[in-house]
Amino acid sequence: MINRLSKRILIVEDDIHISNIIKMNLNLVNYETTQIYDGLAALEAIQNSMIQVSGSAAGPFDLIILDVMIPGMDGFQLMERIRPLGIPVIFLTAKTTVFDKVNGLKLGAEDYMVKPFEAIELLARIETVMRRYGKEEQAIHYKGVDVYLDKREVTVYGEKAELTPKEFDLLVVLLKNKNIALSREQILEKVWGFDFYGETRTIDTHVKELRKKLRLQDSIRTVYKIGYRLED
């Protein structure tokens, strides 16, 4: 299991469906989520979480996903209020004007996402922000496979596995988007970068290698019409 239970993310979004879909995506990769639908309640929840640090298990939120147009108190106002607390915030909004973007970032938001968004993009940005805040885990454990991110080492049931750099990157991308099917194009972009004009067949070979070296034949599934998915 990837141990991410300690990472708590607050979703402040007034549209219940959008809030739910964010929650479902975050839960897939084992983030713990709290949903709140208006600004005032969010402020209260955030302040309460700060007070509870010492006592209860909850503790402060690790990240907040914040919609701008929410009832009670809008996202920008809320951002101003919670900025001193130092919790990273990603704005999520339908507003696309440059002014809104600049305003959001000026207020101290870590990132800014425009609706409609892709789930894996949101996850990637959360990942980046977590890393920036030093909240990224150093090791991922999955079905006897231990991945040490800092040393770029992988062991299978305690035995060191020799992976090429690209195979290692591919493994990390699959692990971080666990339970979500990634298309070959998405994998290509994340592992090889935007400017790589390789063939998607390259991925198939790398996946085949990973399955063999890490004994994950059943876990890395080929998903019809899409690509690959690492399953629990």
Where do contacts with other proteins occur on this chain (CB under 8 A)? 14-15, 17-18, 20-22, 24-25, 28, 69, 71, 94-97, 115-119, 179-182, 223, 225-226, 229, 231
Q: Could you tell me the smallest distance in angstroms from the CB atom of residue 111 to other proteins?
A: 17
Q: Could you tell me the smallest distance in angstroms from the CB atom of residue 186 to other proteins?
A: 10
Q: Could you tell me the smallest distance in angstroms from the CB atom of residue 55 to other proteins?
A: 34
Nearest-angstrom CA–CA distance, 202 and 2:
27
Q: Which is nearer to other proteins, 51 or 223 (CB)?
A: 223
Q: Which is nearer to other proteins, 115 or 212 (CB)?
A: 115
Measured CA angle at 46 (ends 44, 48), to 5 deg = 70
Q: Whole-angstrom distance between the N-terminal and C-terminal Cα of the chain?
A: 8
Q: Which is nearer to other proteins, 182 or 210 (CB)?
A: 182
Q: Which is nearer to other proteins, 58 or 114 (CB)?
A: 114
- Give the C-alpha distances (Å, rounded to integers) separating 122 from 81, 128, 150, 172: 24, 10, 23, 16
Q: Which is nearer to other proteins, 116 or 198 (CB)?
A: 116
Q: 63 near 89, Cβ under 8 Å?
A: yes
Q: Which is nearer to other proteins, 179 or 200 (CB)?
A: 179
Q: Could you tell me the smallest distance in angstroms from the CB atom of residue 117 to other proteins?
A: 7
Q: Give the DSSP H or E segment for 63.
A: strand 63-67
Which residue reads 């991922």 in tokens?
Answer: 140
Q: Which is nearer to other proteins, 68 or 214 (CB)?
A: 68
Q: 184 near 200, Cβ under 8 Å?
A: yes
Q: Could you tell me the smallest distance in angstroms from the CB atom of residue 121 to other proteins?
A: 11
Q: Could you tell me the smallest distance in angstroms from the CB atom of residue 100 to other proteins?
A: 9
Tell me the HSE value of 91 on the side-chain side, using a 13 A CA sphere.
Answer: 29
Cα 41 from chain centroid (whole Å): 24
* Pairing assessment for the beta strands 153-156 and 145-148 based on DSSP bridges: antiparallel
Q: Could you tell me the smallest distance in angstroms from the CB atom of residue 213 to other proteins?
A: 24
Cα 6 from chain centroid (whole Å): 14
Q: 18 near 115, Cβ under 8 Å?
A: yes
Q: 206 near 167, Cβ under 8 Å?
A: yes
